[in-house]
Structure 1
Amino acid sequence: MRRGWGRILAHVSDQTGSRSKALWAIAGCCLLAGVLVAGLLFPVASGVGYVSNKAASTVENVSSELVNGTVPEVSTVTDVNGAPIAYLYDQRREQVGYNDIAPDMIRAIISIEDRRFLEHDGVDWKGTIRAALKNSSSGEVQQGASTLDQQYIKNYQLLVLARTEADRAAAIETTPARKLREVRMALSLEQSLTEQAERDKNLSPAAAKQEAKKEIVTRYLNLVPFGNGAYGIEAAAQTYFGKPAKALDAVQAAMLAGMVQSSSALDPYTNPKGVTDRRNLVLDTMVQNFPQRADEFRADKAKPLGVLRAPRTLPQGCISAKDAGYFCDYALQFMAENGISRDTVLRGGYTIRTTLDPRVQSSVLRASQRIASPDLDGVADVMSVLRPWTPQRQSHDLVAMVSSRNYGLNQQQYQTVQPQPYSMVGDGAGSIFKIFTVAASMEKGLGTATTLSVPQYFSARGMGDSNGANGCPANYYCVKNAGTYPAALSLTQALATSPNTPFVQMLQTVGVKPAVDMAVRLGLRSYGQPGTSGQGDMSLADYIKKGNFGSFTLGPFAVNGLELSNVAATLSSHGMWCPPNPIASITQPKRDRYGNQVIGPDGKPATVPVPFEPPKCEQVVEPGLADTLANALSQDDRGGGTSAGAAGGAGWSLPLSGKTGTTEAHRSSAFLGFTNEFAGSSYIYGDSPTPSDICTSPLRQCYSGDLYGGNEPAQIWYQAMQPIATMYGPIHLPEPDQKYVNGSNNGQVPDVTGQTASRATATLQEAGFKVNQLTTDSGAQQGTVAFTSPSDTAIPGSTITIYVSTGRSATPAPQPGNSNGGGGPAPAVGPPTTLQIPGLGPIVIGGNNGG
């Protein structure tokens, strides 16, 4: 130790002699104390008597934890840069070492609580026998004669080990049996710490005992409560004086030492006279024990308490994290789901460095609340942003999580602490779900170079029931497009302009089950959890598959906004799914056995990692499929894409993969977008108990909704990401894989253009496809095939539609529109745009403003 123990504690002992003299005194007293004292001695010597087998077992079980001496401390949650965002604790305590406690604090606490501390072996036998005699004569326990060792043990059981009211009552029960247990544990503790010091530091027995004494007084001061939520001497010094424990002077130390007797009654803010009287009593004991400083301590009695105007406290919980409150709550949930419970965090003294990037968080929050005001009645936006997996990072790091609602408890100010950004809310993400249908079809052989048939109206038997809406037959699911589209579109342009009918056709071909399973694999993991369907224990995924709902590709089901963002991260990560990860590291201070912070070789405080293993990442689709699909999604922000207007308004000109979505009743809508550096989604939904339709410009509840994903959801995404899009590096699209551009060999559609209808049908059937025949005014020779849909590739065994020419000249093709469940409002007509589609060549389409 840096300070001489003898110098600090000089004259504290009354020099009454060694332990052998004390034992002779005890023996004499036993003649007077009779059976009670005999009951005290025999358990100490032999482990029998008053202490039952159960009590003895309890002593042994507690001993290992006492010897270790771990105490609850404050855990600190920080952002990725290490700046604190929240403090989490059950007891506000910061453990400090012996060298970080003022010498006068040690003098004060020993003077008032245990003046023979230096001489005894954990039990003050003289005081104990005196108390035993007093208690015996009174017929009850009136005096305790507890040493610091015994007080430490009682407080440790009460503050650290007790988990129930019964545990707490047992720790402070006024019975001889409890006192006997304390005696045995105190002797055992001091002996164990002495032996440990003798062994670890190769000390003599006398020197080892001094080391044990230093450790016990340090542990005691780190443990006990000092009122106003302060536990331990460091928190007490900061609470009342705004300084560290090592800077306390004698007056301050005496006040704090006196408060230990009753931290609730002795509060300097409510009972200054009582605290002053108690402080002066401590100073009187210091006068007796340190006569060389007697004049100083007598003069100190006239000084004021000198406390701060108000106690300095520390905010507790995620509620203090303000706009990062949702992120903080999610981080705690994520840790709890992966083996570190909230209770463990509240007591662990951890430094939890999160992945939250304040630059991204600030940009996203600003965009979200600019467009969806925090006090907007019944309408909220949630948006999360993740960094994709790389071989170096190997996680989906969550760098931002916001809700347009301010995090807080004042509902009158539209605040909430509900987990909006990471729970299943709203009426669905709409046509974003077309991504799952496409991905499942690509896995079965569909190439992105294919051309899709786009009928204005489509009905499917056995895929749900439209209940007669719009003239739909019974037991049929019927769907139509909002606006008009060409009879055929490339897959890329179909994703960008989002007609409904080709994707329902595609879902009927590939099957609802593979599409739903793809959604779960890519990131909608809640869909696979029991009970999410609202139909008993059935998962939502099983419910959709059981009903074989054709509407699945139009996304009419509640969605978890964070999981939707993670779908984008999976596609951006070359098909690698990882859990949305909020944790960069979890550490604890590295301390020596005396509570001192260990300093590392670099001169900084050393830490030790806390074991934590979240779920491993999984390759859920082949990298080539994810990369090729990312390219197929790359036209949403330009030309006729449904978010082109929002992108232009934000000045977005970087490569992007994106998809808009809107539910049929316009009660929720979303935009999903990703680059090689960022992935996320903006999701707007009704968050009132009775949600209604939502209207755009301005965003509001209404009776006849017209909000589309290309409106406010896309505007929020682009405005949030534009300022920080390149902060981590340049943006680029991945290279497509020709295997998934061209599709499987079994999915190659024979070119039957110009053949007669009968010849073309036979050719396609020989290739393993089914055939559907329609007519078209193309100007080609009557009775010959003008084109097919799909054209280049299709899912093996699926239906190919041949368009047979009527011989009449073609009328001008209608401009592409937007889907009822899809990306944005019906587009205004603009100049035509030429798109280069991989494997297909240039396609000229009409332009639109994207809504």
Structure 2
Amino acid sequence: MLQKLGQLFGVSVAAGVLVAALAAPALGGIGIAARNVATGFLNMPSELETPPPPQRSIIYDAEGGVIAEVYDRNRELVELDQIAPIMQQAIIAIEDSRFYEHGGLDIVGTFRAALRTIAGRTQGGSSITQQYVKNVLIESATSQAEQEEARETTLGRKIRELRYAIALEQRMTKDEILEGYLNIAYFGDGAYGAESAAQHFFSVSASELNLNQAATLAGLVRYPELYNPRLNPDQAQERRDVVLDRMVATGVITEEEAEKTKAQDLELDISTPSNGCMPSKQPFFCDYVIQEIEKNEAFGETETERARWLRTAGLEIYTTLDPDMQEAGQKAVDKWVPRKNEARKVAAEVLIEPGTGEIRAMVQSRNYGPDESKLGETSINFTANADRGGSTGFQAGSTFKAITLAAALEKGLPYSTSFTSGSTITVTGQKNCDGNTLAPWTVSNSSESGGAATHNMVSGTKGSVNTYFAQLQKRVGLCNVIKMAEKLGLTRADGQSYDNPRTQENNSFTLGSEEVSPLNVAAAYATFASRGIYCKPMAITKIVDRQAGRTIEMEPECERRISKDVADGVNYLLQQTFKGGTATGLGIGRPAAGKTGTTDNSASAWFAGYTPNLAGAVFVGDPRGPNQYPLRNVTLGGRYYSVVYGATIPGPIWQETMREAVKKLDEKSFARSPARFGSTSEPAPPRREDPTDANPASSPGSVPNVVGMSRDQAVAAIESAGYRANVADRRLPSSHPEGTVALVEPSAGSRLAEGSVVNIFLSRGPADNGNSNGGNGNGGWEFPGGGGWELPALDDQWGAF
């Protein structure tokens, strides 16, 4: 050890003398110069920090698939034994053939380089250690001035590099230096380090490089752009042959091996890794993950610092995204609201796991890109809040009625809480959170809703009756409904608090007149699904920081916000919407609860629904301004819609997504309705539905009872009522004669939008087992859920429920 140190010390002194000698023509008096410069050389700072160089970070989905790579430098660090020996030999042969012999200073090469530098001509000849030092100084520079200093072509820079190089050889082994160099060197075309270069130019790992490939890469480091094999293949091939000759001269390969390799083409197989979210198949979720890191102070003091950490630390970012659920959601939104639709509408959907808040899917019917003027392109994530790359939100319509139900049940009101709810009422005496009385509020259902009707929570929810919920909000108290929204995480998407004059004077809060994001709506409904446990939406489960050698585990942030009874009560009520209510026909083959939502003038439409283990929210509207560009007289996916309601497009998007998404989940049932909320019966007379959500026909008729009629009679009757008849190919066993109508769906008496589809199922006669029941108005068959029967999938829409 002492002998080694002495040798290195001697080399250091010799280096100082050498430098002085090189400078003698300019200084005069070689002896004095040698002595002074040697002393100054040894007194220079010699401790060089060698942090891991910047490398790319990778974002993974929940199954380990790559979502995106994010980097300032396309680099993947590997250990020396992961780089093919032939690559190591090639780089040593061409860059520093005496690497394993010198102590960081190649006297001959440095002497030649210094002389030419003094003469004004830049010259290579630096040892691999010196080149490593130079790259470390460049990569670790934090300012433009430091960058320029590390790159300057002066004798002073050479001297600094020499001092650092000699000191570096005292504390690092040759293999450690070579490993560092092969990871930090720039090989051109955006590839840093041997691993990334091998992947980029040849689509192999550095451990798999052959002689031809290794010689090609080794030749690039001196002038990466000049010898770029993609852009300048002839120059690259000539340079490769020079490397092969050097490998022969150093005894690494034979002349025969060199000539055989020279006869080969470069055999490039260019593979460039994607950088950022634009090339990703999940671009908006990718952007959300990046926003989560850059906006979280736990990852750095400033946003700039956090962004640099993300793009240089080689992070492994593991997320919650389920690729199958993501694919199902993307397929559904693209089908119903194509990305480049001329109406410029957009559909956005989020799926969240109740009990953890983990985001399972985040999709929208747009291509990811910065040019908002291009049809179907945007960089705005319409599923998220503004502070996470989203918009300022959209009015959520009647999906907010679930919030009012929760507030009412929390106050102890029973399901039987009833009001006379005609087509139009005026609510007076409503107070805000300051106790101030609000102006009278006139709220309507529609002219088709008819005269006065009595509704309770069950019928009011099934029919989404505006006038019922207006009175229920007054009974509960507007302030209590607002506070319930806050409990459930339903904040405004623009970041503003509900504690502002506009919201406090907002009579129509229960009708969803506040702007929110699909992400927050999904999280609120997930709270019902998890029986009162609210979980903050989370996208990241773990970050592995390879540079710092640490793993950051991200835990769900959950807490009870409402009681189990209140959540179970809401769950019961929202299940009824699928049973003759506004979500009729939107079932997914297992227990589900949900709510449609449509704002005034059909500015935007929503559907929020859930099972006990998955919640989702869908928004459809116009990003340019829903009120200015409502969902009226639009053509989407080749279909014309005079009006779009919550059950017209958002509902089917949710249904098609959830049918696929829940396949990998266990089927679970909701808890029973809590006895404390009393009878679950609906009041008499029969309810009237609010067309804002239920989409009643503009004609005065309802779905006629055509069970038992012939096919032609049934079609004529349904079309006369203003609907479209769809006769299913599959026939059902029933007590009605073969060929007559066995069942219609939606059922007789339902009120739908004009032009909605009514499905007709013909009878094939009694079932062989004699189990035809009869007497229920649907040919003896209960639907849905009766006897396990489920309607076959239809290509056309189910009508605008």
1:479 maps to 443
1:797 maps to none
Identity %: 31
* Count of residues in correspondence between the two structures: 675
Structure 1 counterpart of 2:652, from 700, 715, 719? 715
What letter matches 2:248 in structure 1?
V
Structure 1 counterpart of 2:459, from 475, 489, 493? 493
The whole-number CA distance in structure 1 between the counterparts of 2:37 and 2:671 is 79
Deviates more, 1:627-636 or 1:716-725: 716-725
The 3 A distance-change label for structure 1 pair 526 and 347 is farther
The whole-number CA distance in structure 2 between the counterparts of 1:293 and 1:37 is 42
CA deviations on 1:819-841 (whole Å, 9 max, x unpaired) are: 54x44336964699xxxxxxxxx
1:747 maps to none
1:571 aligns with 2:528: yes
Q: Cα offset for 1:259?
A: 1.0
2:380 maps to 418
The whole-number CA distance in structure 2 between the counterparts of 1:363 and 1:168 is 48
1:438 maps to 405
Which secondary structure state, in structure 2, belongs to the residue aligned with residue 679 of structure 1? strand
Q: Cα offset for 1:475?
A: 4.2
1:816 aligns with 2:688: yes
The 3 A distance-change label for structure 1 pair 276 and 304 is same
The whole-number CA distance in structure 2 between the counterparts of 1:577 and 1:733 is 17
2:276 maps to 317
The 3 A distance-change label for structure 1 pair 20 and 552 is closer
The 3 A distance-change label for structure 1 pair 131 and 263 is closer
Which secondary structure state, in structure 2, belongs to the residue aligned with residue 378 of structure 1? coil
Alignment gaps of 5+ in structure 1: 1-16, 48-55, 194-211, 390-394, 466-472, 533-538, 592-607, 744-789, 792-811, 833-844
What letter matches 1:481 in structure 2?
N
C-alpha contact (below 8 Å) 1:380/1:404 kept by paired residues:
yes
1:244 aligns with 2:184: no
What letter matches 2:409 in structure 1?
M
The 3 A distance-change label for structure 1 pair 45 and 667 is same
Which secondary structure state, in structure 1, belongs to the residue aligned with residue 179 of structure 2? helix
C-alpha contact (below 8 Å) 1:463/1:547 kept by paired residues:
no
C-alpha contact (below 8 Å) 2:530/2:613 kept by paired residues:
no
* Root-mean-square deviation (Å): 3.7
CA deviations on 1:148-174 (whole Å, 9 max, x unpaired) are: 12211221232x323443332122123
Structure 2 counterpart of 1:184, from 141, 160, 163? 163
C-alpha contact (below 8 Å) 1:72/1:93 kept by paired residues:
yes
Structure 2 counterpart of 1:369, from 325, 334, 337? 334
Structure 1 counterpart of 2:612, from 676, 686, 691? 676
1:611 maps to 552
1:583 aligns with 2:540: yes
The 3 A distance-change label for structure 1 pair 813 and 676 is closer
C-alpha contact (below 8 Å) 1:22/1:125 kept by paired residues:
no
1:549 maps to 506
The whole-number CA distance in structure 1 between the counterparts of 2:141 and 2:277 is 25
The whole-number CA distance in structure 2 between the counterparts of 1:485 and 1:43 is 100
Alignment map for 1:396-545 (pairs within 5 Å): 396-408=357-369, 412=374, 414-422=376-384, 423-424=390-391, 427-461=394-428, 475-482=439-446, 483-484=449-450, 487-527=453-493, 532=495, 539-543=496-500
C-alpha contact (below 8 Å) 1:379/1:700 kept by paired residues:
no
The whole-number CA distance in structure 2 between the counterparts of 1:164 and 1:334 is 27
The whole-number CA distance in structure 2 between the counterparts of 1:226 and 1:657 is 57
Structure 2 counterpart of 1:173, from 119, 137, 152? 152
C-alpha contact (below 8 Å) 2:117/2:155 kept by paired residues:
no
Deviates more, 1:728-737 or 1:695-704: 695-704
CA deviations on 1:255-290 (whole Å, 9 max, x unpaired) are: 221210011111123333332333333233323322
CA deviations on 1:718-771 (whole Å, 9 max, x unpaired) are: 22223443531113112344455699xxxxxxxxxxxxxxxxxxxxxxxxxxxx
The whole-number CA distance in structure 1 between the counterparts of 2:438 and 2:351 is 43
What letter matches 1:152 in structure 2?
Y
The structure showing larger relative contact order (alpha-carbon pairs under 8 Å, at least 6 residues apart) is 1
Which secondary structure state, in structure 1, belongs to the residue aligned with residue 52 of structure 2? coil
The whole-number CA distance in structure 1 between the counterparts of 2:501 and 2:185 is 57
The 3 A distance-change label for structure 1 pair 40 and 251 is farther
Q: Cα offset for 1:628?
A: 1.8
C-alpha contact (below 8 Å) 1:481/1:818 kept by paired residues:
yes
1:385 aligns with 2:342: no
1:331 maps to 289
The 3 A distance-change label for structure 1 pair 670 and 37 is farther
The whole-number CA distance in structure 2 between the counterparts of 1:653 and 1:555 is 29
1:782 maps to none
Alignment gaps of 5+ in structure 2: 1-5, 25-29, 300-305, 385-389, 706-747, 753-799
C-alpha contact (below 8 Å) 1:385/1:399 kept by paired residues:
yes
Deviates more, 1:333-342 or 1:27-36: 27-36
Which secondary structure state, in structure 2, belongs to the residue aligned with residue 421 of structure 1? coil
C-alpha contact (below 8 Å) 1:454/1:488 kept by paired residues:
yes
The 3 A distance-change label for structure 1 pair 250 and 36 is farther
1:728 aligns with 2:665: yes
2:266 maps to 306
The whole-number CA distance in structure 1 between the counterparts of 2:149 and 2:400 is 59
1:837 maps to none
Q: Cα offset for 1:436?
A: 1.9
Structure 2 counterpart of 1:625, from 566, 575, 589? 566
1:346 aligns with 2:338: no
CA deviations on 1:672-724 (whole Å, 9 max, x unpaired) are: 11110210111111123674221379559999963221222112212222344
Q: Cα offset for 1:367?
A: 2.4
| TM-score when normalising by structure 2 | 0.76
Q: Cα offset for 1:244?
A: 2.5
C-alpha contact (below 8 Å) 2:459/2:687 kept by paired residues:
no
Alignment map for 1:250-269 (pairs within 5 Å): 250-269=211-230
2:131 maps to 151
The 3 A distance-change label for structure 1 pair 625 and 129 is same
C-alpha contact (below 8 Å) 2:17/2:37 kept by paired residues:
no
Which secondary structure state, in structure 2, belongs to the residue aligned with residue 585 of structure 1? strand
The whole-number CA distance in structure 2 between the counterparts of 1:183 and 1:147 is 9
1:276 aligns with 2:237: yes
C-alpha contact (below 8 Å) 1:19/1:119 kept by paired residues:
no
Which secondary structure state, in structure 2, belongs to the residue aligned with residue 611 of structure 1? strand
Alignment map for 1:634-645 (pairs within 5 Å): 634-639=575-580, 641-644=581-584
Which secondary structure state, in structure 1, belongs to the residue aligned with residue 557 of structure 2? coil
The 3 A distance-change label for structure 1 pair 307 and 462 is farther
C-alpha contact (below 8 Å) 1:408/1:417 kept by paired residues:
yes
Which secondary structure state, in structure 2, belongs to the residue aligned with residue 156 of structure 1? helix
Q: Cα offset for 1:636?
A: 0.6
| TM-score when normalising by structure 1 | 0.72
CA deviations on 1:298-348 (whole Å, 9 max, x unpaired) are: 52574344232x6222222222223x2222222222233334544333323
